[in-house]
Amino acid sequence: MTRHRPHVLFPDAESPEAQERLVAREVRGHRQAGSGASKYAKGDVLADHFLIECKRTVHASLSIKKSWLDKIAAEAAAAGKEPALAIEIAGGPNSAHGERDWVMCPLRIWKRLIGGAD
């Protein structure tokens, strides 16, 4: 079995760690050191109100797994935070708007963020 080597799959500026740094900077949070390796540091980015799991792909699409959403929801609840999933779709042709970075959260949170009822 071949060992996964992210530094080979992702050029340095395009690494999963680079995505986590970008998300942390944009939400004024911080990266969870060793989040993928530690059973104690949950999620990839910790912000004031959110615990964020980061996923990225160099391909033109990314399948969202329910297990990712369940995991970050449980970890966020345990930390007293709201869950979010940040995704970067780095592959494929550039869109007219150039958006590569997206964030998912439960509908109840989205409604609250846009001023709707909870």
Q: Give the chain as a DSSP string.
A: -PPP-HHHHS-GGGSHHHHHHHHHHHTT-EE-TTTTT-SSS-SSEE-SSEEEEEEEESSS--PPPHHHHHHHHHHHHHHT-EEEEEEEE--SSPPSS---EEEE--HHHHHHHTT---
Percent above pLDDT 90 for the chain:
55
Write down the domain spans for the chain: 6-113
Q: How many CA atoms lie within 13 A of 62 on its CB side?
A: 19
Q: Give the pLDDT of residue 99.
A: 83
- Would you say residue 4 has pLDDT above 50? no
CATH architecture of 6-113: 3-Layer(aba) Sandwich (3.40)
- Would you say residue 6 has pLDDT above 60? no
Choose between 96 and 22: higher pLDDT. Answer: 22
Q: Give the pLDDT of residue 7.
A: 40
